[in-house]
Structure 1
Amino acid sequence: MRSRRLPRKALTAFAALALAAAAHAAHAADLRVVTSGGFAQAYKDLSGAYERSSGNHLVSEWGPSMGTTRNAIPVRLARGESIDVVIMVGDALDKLMAEGQLEPGSKVVLANSPIACAVKHGAAQPDIGTVDGLRQAFLHASRVAYSDSASGEYIKRELLDKLGIKQQMEGKAAQIPATPVGEIIAHGQADFGCQQRSELKPVAGIDIVGLIPQEVQLTTQFSGAVVRGSSQPQAARQLLNFLAAPDNANTIEQTGLAPVAARH
Structure 2
Amino acid sequence: MKKPSLVAVASKLGLVLALSSMADLHAAELKVLAGGSMTAVLNELAPQFEHASGHTLVIHFDSTPNLIKQATSEPFDLGVVPIDVFKDAAAKAHFTLPTVDIAHVGYGVSVRKGAAIPDVSTPDALRKTLLDAPSIALLPTSAAGAYVLSVFDRLGIAEQMKAKTKPQTTTGHIAEAVARGDAELGVFLVNVLIAPGTELAGPFPAELQQELVFTAAVAADSRQADAAKAFIDYLRTPAATMVITTLGMTPG
Give the TM-score range, shorter chain.
Answer: 0.7 to 0.9
Deviation at 1:95, TM superposition (A): 2.2
Aligned counterpart in structure 1 of residue 69 of structure 2, from 59, 72, 75: 75
- AA in 1 matched with 2:70: R
Uncovered stretches (5+) of structure 1, i.e. residues with no partner = 1-23, 67-71
What is the Cα deviation at residue 109 of structure 1? 0.6
- Report if the CA contact (8 A) 2:76-2:222 is conserved: yes
Find the counterpart in structure 1 of residue 147 from structure 2: 154
1:229 is the counterpart of 2:221 = yes
- Give matches, 1:92-111, under 5 Å: 92-95=85-88, 99-105=92-98, 107-111=99-103
After TM superposition, the score normalised by the length of structure 1 is: 0.78
Residue type of the alignment partner of 1:93: F
Per the alignment, residue 168 of structure 1 pairs with 160
Larger Rg: 1
Q: Cα RMSD (Å) of the superposition?
A: 2.2
Moved over 4 A (4+): 96-99
**Number of residue equivalences:** 228
Using the TM superposition, give the Cα deviation of residue 102 of structure 1 relative to its aligned residue in structure 2, in angstroms.
Answer: 1.4
Match of residue 219 from structure 1:
211
Percent identity of equivalent pairs: 29
The answer for unaligned runs of 5 or more in structure 2 is 1-22
Preserved CA contact (<8 Å) 1:120 1:205: yes
SS at match of 2:145: helix
Task: Give 3-state SS (helix, strand or coil) of 1:193's partner.
Answer: strand
Matches within 5 A, 1:1-264: 27-66=26-65, 72-80=66-74, 82-95=75-88, 99-105=92-98, 107-147=99-139, 148-156=141-149, 158-180=150-172, 181-201=174-194, 203-260=195-252
How far the C-alpha of 1:205 sits from its partner, in A, is 2.2
Answer yes or no: is the 8 Å Cα contact 1:144–1:192 preserved in 2.
yes
Segment of structure 1 superposing worse, 51-60 or 175-184: 175-184
Distance 1:94 1:243, change over 3 A: farther
Give the counterpart letter for 1:53 in structure 2: A
